[in-house]
Amino acid sequence: MRLINRYVWNEFIQQFLICGLGFTALGVGKIFFDYNDLFIGYRVTPRLLGILLLNQIPALLMDVIPAAALFGVILFLGRMLRERELDVIRTSGVSLMKIMLPVFVGVAIICVAAFFWNDYVVPSANHRFEVELRRMSVKQDFPLFRENVVFKAPQNRFIYLRKVERKTGIIGGVLIIETGGRWPRIITAEQGRMEKGIWELYRGFIHEFNEEGAIRSELFFEKMELVMSRDYRGFISEEKGPNEMRTTELLKMIDLYRRSGLNVPAFQVFYQSKFSDPIISLTLVFLATPLTVVTGRNSRWLGLVLCFLIIMGYYALQVIGRTMGVNGLIAPWAAAWVPNLCFLMIGIFLLAVTEQRK
């Protein structure tokens, strides 16, 4: 059995590494495509371009690993089925679960390593990438503001933006806290537009407080012009977005917002995702194994089609769930875990059915 385990693992890991290298190359090309306008507009030097790409690769690998695991299982199992190797092993009394056990254990170890990679390396790389972008952005009319992040601005202001359209300068869900006195002045607006040194805010409120901290006045406005500093170097700070934080940092921010009476579900969704994202590979492997056994004997192309359908279905459910979670429509844990739980239960059920039909 030890010989079979070694053989199965070697067959899988070869396909896994080949697919991983291929998807990494495609991912680097996608990064070039996504940031093409940015790289050209800022006339990025080759050295800086290398730094930016290097800091995007850690996050890219978190997407590459699940896809490589899925394709690796379907390709190596499909080959064993077509060449009758799997039939020979199963007729000797070895169950499909035992045959795939080294793959399941190996992928589980990869998932544990992926968790630490996602918690230590990815946030640091994302932060360095964002800092470099903000440094380049001061050459433009306004910096690259980020969504769902509270950041310190010049003139004793703290700003939170729920939505930012960088090309048009339109912002939404605006919260501005102006400090300087004993109690801050708070400005909220449904929407706004960033101009050169002027922010136009629409449909919002100005909250002012008395000496005791109680609300003294609440003024509604349809349109308001707010003078902002033209020196955007003040916006290049060390504030981090959710994807730039470790689990401990996310917990601190969640606790801080909770004690402040604010509810920012984006941080809670990202916190739950820190634990759910690394096990995507194991979930997809459990699902791919029985599907390949059922369909992989006849055609290699059918297996590849299955790969794309599984990936598209999983990530479509993931995007929908996390969008709903960030907007507070469903619980943060559900937004992060429902795709994994659904596909894992389907995979285990199909695996049990396949074992009974052998």
pLDDT tens, residue by residue, 146-157: 677 777 776 777
- Range of the structural domain that residue 185 is part of: 150-235
Q: Is residue 258 part of a domain?
A: no
Q: Which residues contact 102 (CB under 8 A, 6 or more apart)?
A: 5, 6, 8, 9, 12
pLDDT at res. 337 = 93
Residue that terminates a domain, selected from 187, 217, 235: 235
Is 270 inside a domain boundary? Answer: yes
Residues 186 and 98 grouped into a single domain: no
Report if residue 244 sits inside a domain: no
Indicate the number of domains in the chain: 2
Within a 13 Å sphere around the CA of 281, how many CA atoms are in the beta-carbon half?
A: 27
In a domain, 345, yes or no: yes
Asked whether residue 198 falls in the same domain as residue 297, the answer is no
Alpha helices in the chain (DSSP H): 2-34, 36-41, 46-82, 85-91, 96-116, 122-137, 247-259, 265-276, 280-295, 300-326, 332-356
One domain, residues 220 and 286: no
Q: What's the CA gap between 335 and 268, in Å, rounded? A: 10
> Do both 125 and 157 map to the same domain?
no
> In the prediction, which pLDDT does 262 show?
65
Q: In this structure, are 102 and 184 located in the same domain? A: no
- For residues 86 and 156, membership in a common domain is answered with no
Same domain, 110 and 230: no
Regarding whether 76 and 23 lie in a shared domain, the answer is yes
Strand, coil or helix: 196: coil
Task: Output the pTM of the full model.
Answer: 0.72
249 located within any domain: no
Strands 198-209 and 157-165: unpaired
Of residues 197 and 59, the one with the higher pLDDT is 59
Q: Which long-range contacts (CB under 8 A, 24 or more apart) does 36-41 make?
A: 38/133, 38/136
Q: Counting every residue, how long is the chain?
A: 358
* Residues 179, 296 share a domain: no
Tokens representing 117? Answer: 């990679």
Residue 93, domain member (yes or no)? yes
Same-domain pairing of 99 and 182:
no
- The tens digit of pLDDT for each residue in 242-297 reads 888 899 988 888 887 776 666 678 888 999 999 999 999 999 999 888 888 887 66
Residue 145 lies in a domain: no
Is residue 137 pLDDT above 70, yes or no?
A: no
Whole-number average pLDDT of the chain: 82
Judge whether 128 and 142 are in contact, CB under 8 Å.
no
The whole-number average pLDDT for the span 309-314 is 84
Give dist(CA 289, CA 351) in Å, integer. 7
- The C-alpha angle 267, 269, 270, rounded to 5 degrees, equals 65
Same-domain pairing of 17 and 134: yes
The Cα-based distances of 196 to 172, 232, 234 in angstroms read 18, 11, 15
Residues 133 and 272 both lie in one domain: yes
Place of tokens 């990025």: 44
Q: How is residue 166 written in tokens?
A: 């960088």
Q: What is the spatial distance between Cα 59 and Cα 93, in angstroms, rounded to a whole number?
A: 42
Q: Is residue 12 part of a domain?
A: yes
